[in-house]
Structures are given as C-alpha cells and as structure tokens.
Amino acid sequence: MPEPASVPPTGGVARPEQRAVPAPPGDTRPVGRAALEDLPPVDADWMVDLLLQLLRTPSPAGRTDTVIQLLGEVLAQLPVDLTVTRRGSLLARLAGRSTGVRALVAHADTIGCMVRDLKDNGRLAVVPVGTHSARSAEGTRVTVLTDQFASYTGTILPLLASGHAFGDDVDRQPVGWDHVEVRVDEWCTSADDLRALGIQVGDFVAIDSLPVVTDSGFVVARHLDGKAGIATAVAALRALTSAGAEVPHEVDLLITISEEVGQGASHGLHEAVAEMVSIDNAVCAPGNHSLEDGVTIPMADATGPFDYHLTRHLCGLCERFGIPYARDVFRYYRSDVAAAIEAGAETRAALVAFGVDASHGPERTHIRSLEAVAQLLCAHVLSPLTFARWDREPLGELRDFPSEEQQAPTERFGELPSEE
C-alpha cells in the first residue's frame, strides 16, 4: 500500500452544500468546535492491513468460523473481554467508567453461492447466498469449500461463455443464476468427476475478494461491504485503548455472521445496550448523496427511519470535529440494525457508512472514507449517551421522557371568503 504521505489527508470541513444541523431540544451532543487532533490517532496502515487479512479470508454467510477465529486473535491483543455466541458471533467488551452500554456492530459474513447441482458436463449449478446479481458474478474467481475441508478454485461463467463458439448469442443470452455455472479448475467432465473430488450439493462457493490498494488510496475488492466496517471499528478501539482513553460507557463490539441473509444482529446484542451504531457500506451511485471519501450517515433505509436523535448526534460530532460527512436515504438496503430492532432490541439505532461504489459487485472505497468512519467512531465512543440520564434505563416515567417539541401547522377547514 502507499506511504501515508501519498494519501491526501481527510478534509477538515463539511462540503459547501451541507448545512449545520440544529440541535433538537434536550440534545446532549457536545457544543463548540474541536479538531481531529483532539481524538486518538487512527493507524490507517494497520487498519488497511487488517482489512486485507479479512478480505483474503473467505466467509460467505453460513461459513464464517475461520474469519471469526482471525478476528478473535486480533481482538485478544486489546484490553477487551471476548465471548462468542452459540452460533458464532463475536462480542468484545471494553469497560466504561460509568453505567450505560453502547454497541458498535459490523458483519463478517459476505455474499457468496452454494452448490445446487453437479452437472453432467462437470460444472456446478449454484444459487446465491445473500442478494446479489448474477450479472456482477460473471467472470469472478471463486473457491469451492467442501465438507472435507478441501478447496478448489474456479470461475463463474455464463452458459455461453465464448464468442468464438457462440457468436452474437453470447450477448443475447439471459442474465440470471440459472444461466451461469462454475467451471472448477480440475479435470472434470462429468458429475462423477466432481463427486470424486468430494464436491456435494450444499457446498459453499466463496467469491474471491482479490483486493488491490492503489497508489491513489483506493481499495478495490469484493466484500468491502461488511469487512471494511469491521476494520474501522477495530481500528477505532485500538486507537482508544492505545491512547489510554477512558470511555464514559461500556462499549460492546458485536461482529455478526449472517447480515447478508437478513439475520444480522438478531442475536448477541446485550439487553442493556442503549445505543447501537451499525457500520456498513454507503451507496455511492447516481441518485444518492453518499461520499466515497468521507462518512455517510443514513437517515433511513428500506426498513424505515433510523433513530432521530442518535443520527443528529452523529451529525453533530462530524461537524464538531470537522469530519466530512453527508446524509443519505437508502431505498434498497437493510443492515444489522433492522435485524436487531425486528428481534425486539430496545435501543436507539443508527448507521454509519463508508463509501462504496458498485456495492455487491466489484466494490471500491477510499482510505480517506475508512479513516473518517474510524474517527467518528472514536468521537462517538468518547461522547456521552444521546440523553445521558434517560438512555441508561430501558423504561422510565412519561414526565421524564425527552420529547422533541414540534410546532404543528395551523389547520384550516373550509374558511368562507370574506364579505368585504
């Protein structure tokens, strides 16, 4: 990767089109200006090295044990308490100086495929694991993971893969999972040949990440969605603990293993968590406002709005510390937050996102975006809860609830015209 000096520094101010966010009544976010130098320094080189390790470790949803072991070894070097759920999600707890618990959540699982059939031509029919298009999968390199722990490389190809053989029919064939197959890099001309290798229906097919870090600071790879979020969260915890920072509230870092299939943070979240911030990818595409070189704070996704007060608190932290950010709305997107809320978690919940172009395809982000997210996570962890007293308990009296005052418009019902 390039030397740090070759990567332009994170900008210190919000973009011109961004306006200050007024603080809602009762908001406890910090006032006044600060500088990034006031936050513990994030080691960008270390963060990117961790990201590359994660990207090179296959972990399609349903086959995540290896990447969780890797993360456990990394987190064991920090002063955190580690536990693992029955299903394999990883929880790291950093003690705080007072009551109250907040969670950072990121997912280790990725999109991938599963063997649906062993074909008579010695190739594999597959179905997707997670939601992604066969169009983006065509031509990708894969690794077939067998139950015997043997693995085989291969390529996802359209059924008509050669213009020399099929002419213009290559461009006219339909797009979809029924119209692709996996060519395994072994001598296989029949289903029996595949069986002899130990390949079976239900085996996982991991899409290879093939990460590249460019001289301009871009990270180009499959599976940035999820794994870059882990890298930013762990880098933030490492920065905080290395600096000896005392955090006001317990921090639970939850690494989930089934976000791509909709289950996400439905288990493993401590019941005392008052605030949950999920870290995932931002949608950099026409019609969206997400930044590929800063933080994106979504106001809502396909499952509904995120917590009003917590999202504005995060926006306020970006403004206070000069972290470039944008607000966005994601129409075809859900995260660990949705799974947690649907499972009954009584917590404020928000999403912090690093910019990703071509998500669930040949993805790209920038080191500046990852740094900005890690810096915001540090600022968030060092800040008080959104409502310091109210949010410490799951229940309270109505008279104490920090309601937002909102002026209602005057209503008019069929006024008669004046006779004058």
Report the catalytic residues: 259
Q: Cβ neighbours of residue 384 under 8 Å, at least 6 residues apart?
A: 28, 248, 249
**How far is the C-alpha of 325 from the C-alpha of 13, rounded, in Å?**
9
Q: Are 90 and 84 in contact (CB under 8 A)?
A: yes
Q: What is the DSSP letter of 7?
A: S
C-alpha separations of 106 from 227, 234, 309, 336 in Å: 8, 10, 21, 7
Torsion over CA: 295, 285, 216, 362 (sign): positive
CB count within 10 Å of CB 3 equals 8
C-alpha separations of 136 from 52, 151, 222, 317, 359 in Å: 21, 23, 11, 37, 10
**How far is the C-alpha of 92 from the C-alpha of 78, rounded, in Å?**
9
Pairing of strands 204-207, 141-145: antiparallel
Q: Are 180 and 159 in contact (CB under 8 A)?
A: yes
**How far is the C-alpha of 385 from the C-alpha of 397, rounded, in Å?**
19
**How far is the C-alpha of 165 from the C-alpha of 5, rounded, in Å?**
50
SS3 assignment, position 353? strand
Spell out the SS3 assignment of 121-185: CCCEEEEEECCCCHHHHCCCEEEEECCCCCEEEEEEEECCCCHHHHCCHHHHCCCCHHHEEEEEC
**CA 105 to centroid of chain Cα atoms:** 8
With b for 16 or more beta-carbon neighbours within 10 A and e for fewer, the 120-148 pattern comes to eebbbbbebbbebebebbeebebbbbeee
